[in-house]
Amino acid sequence: MAKPYKGPERRKDHSLRIRRYRRLLEVTRTLSSTLDLPHLLRNIIESARELTDTEAVSIMLMDASTGQLRFEAITNKDDAAAMERIPVPIEGSIAGTIFTTAKPLIIADAASDPRHFRKVDNTITFVTRSILGAPLISKEKPIGVLQVLNKMKGSFTQDDVEILEALATQAAVAIVNARLFQQSDLIAEMVHELRTPLTSISACGQLLLRPGLPPDKRDEVAQVIQNETARLAAMTTDFLDLARLESGRAHFEREPFDMDLLCRECINIVTPQAAHRGVEIHFPASQPAAPKVNGDRSKIKQVVLNLLTNAIKYNRENGQIYVAMALSEGAVKVSVRDTGRGIPAEALPRMFEKFYRVPDSEGYTQGTGLGLAIAKRIVETHGGEMSLESEQDVGTTFCFTLPLDL
């Protein structure tokens, strides 16, 4: 019996399919060997775009602190900063539907779908026409969504769905592994940092055991033990805070609060510490329409307190601190300016790094080098930004913004 003729089109489809699956296998191999999270995410989006022949790709991961999805990587790097600040709600978004149903979904015409979350298209110049999304699932639990946008030719096919699902399965495993690796890296860094105060306490202990140590020397050594123990305690608290924030386990409340009142409350708390160094804190009288921010009041309080205590610690004796608050482009901006020694230009890019302290601040004042890393995380989880400006021997200004419409 003659074989049914399948035609050149069917054969072409078949070989295209084989080529795609071969490519998928290659990609999977690369993914499983990458532990650097940002690098891994870029690899996933580039592969997804190539395998599905689409215009753009995004990866959203669940942020446990907000209960919303968060853009972790997108094809267009220029839009990345703006998009990272837009949390995607689980209710009322296509990604949210894919996340909750844990099933892939094709949207042929995004503009006419009521679930399409338009805030993203409105923020950037990109126009979404069609969407194919697959859930990222690890140990039977969704952790995020992988979406490909705007099929280049024709519309999404069942083949596209299968290939994206297969890629998403591998991608989820790789993401979870990279996150675990990040955490173990943080633990290693912490253990390393704990060694310095511990070594110092141990050396002091030995000194105290020496017979005939003069009483004034004894007091000095006891004081070092006291300081280093306090530093260890501060480090463990800060470290736990940071680990919770980095792993997305920190819980954030959302409640409207008065930013002006919060700043005043923080200033009252640190005033005795400032007075001790003769430092004055200035904050203009409350504005008639003080902005209300929606967020976690106690965490934002932690940010303001960190900036204020730094402005006191790194100020000169009898220095000044100017706190200000302003509204701009739907956000409130809080700034804390001091008249301290400033920060050398080469240290500026490292200021928000974990454990980083400007070298000569070591002997100058006590600290863990974690406060600013924590503050930046908190602000960014609220969809805001943190920045600084500094001039040596003139002073430093730290600013953070918080969107008003969260």
Structure tokens at 383: 């969809």
Nearer to ligand ADP (CB atom), residue 381 or residue 396: 396
Closer to ligand ADP by Cβ: residue 320 or 361? 361
Residues 47 and 89 sit within 8 Å (Cβ to Cβ):
no
Decide if residue 368 touches ligand ADP (CB under 6 A): yes
Residue 358 touching ligand ADP (CB under 6 A): yes
What is the torsion angle, in degrees rounded to the nearest 10, for the CA atoms of residue 246, residue 248, residue 253 and residue 254?
100
Based on the shown chain and the rule CB under 6 A, indicate whether residue 338 belongs to the binding site for ligand ADP. Answer: yes
Q: Contact between 400 and ligand ADP (CB under 6 A)?
A: no
Determine the interface stretch with ligand ADP among 131-139, 177-185, 213-221, 356-364 (rule: CB under 6 A): 356-364
Residue 369 makes contact with ligand ADP by CB under 6 A: yes
Specify the residue, 110 or 336, whose C-beta has the smaller distance to ligand ADP. Answer: 336
By CB under 6 A, tell whether 197 contacts ligand ADP: no
Among 87, 319, 367, 403, binds ligand ADP (CB under 6 A): 367
Whole-angstrom CA distances from 16 to 22, 278, 305, 395 are 10, 75, 60, 63
Q: Residue from 151, 299, 333, 357 that binds ligand ADP (CB under 6 A)?
A: 357
Task: Please tell me whether residue 294 binds ligand ADP under the rule CB under 6 A.
Answer: no
Nearer to ligand ADP, 27 or 375 (CB): 375
Applying CB under 6 A, which part among 40-48, 149-157, 199-207, 364-372 lies near ligand ADP? Answer: 364-372
Among residues 54, 58, 310, 339, which is the contact residue for ligand ADP, using CB under 6 A?
310
Residue 310 beta carbon to ligand ADP: minimum distance, rounded to whole angstroms? 3
For ligand ADP, the binding residue among 396, 399, 400, 402 (CB under 6 A) is 396
- CB burial of residue 177 (10 Å; 0-12, 13-18, 19+): middle
CA–CA separation, 373 and 307 (whole Å) = 12
118 membership: H or E segment, kind and range: helix 118-123
Single residue of 110, 281, 343, 399 touching ligand ADP by CB under 6 A:
343
Residue 195 CB coordination number (10 Å): 9
What contacts 310, CB < 8 A, 6 or more positions away?
A: 338, 371, 372, 398
Tokens encoding 139 = 């140990």
> Residue 393: which of 321, 338, 323, 335 has the closest Cα?
338
Number of residues that bind ligand ADP (CB under 6 A): 18
Q: What is the 3-state secondary structure (H, E, C) of 341-404?
A: CCCCHHHHHHCCCCCCCCCCHHHHCCCCCCHHHHHHHHHHHCCCCEEEEEECCCEEEEEEEEEC
**To which H or E segment does residue 94 belong?**
helix 94-101
72 or 193, CB closer to ligand ADP? 193
Residues lying near ligand ADP in the complex (CB under 6 A)? 306, 310-311, 314, 338, 340, 343, 351, 357-358, 361, 367-372, 396
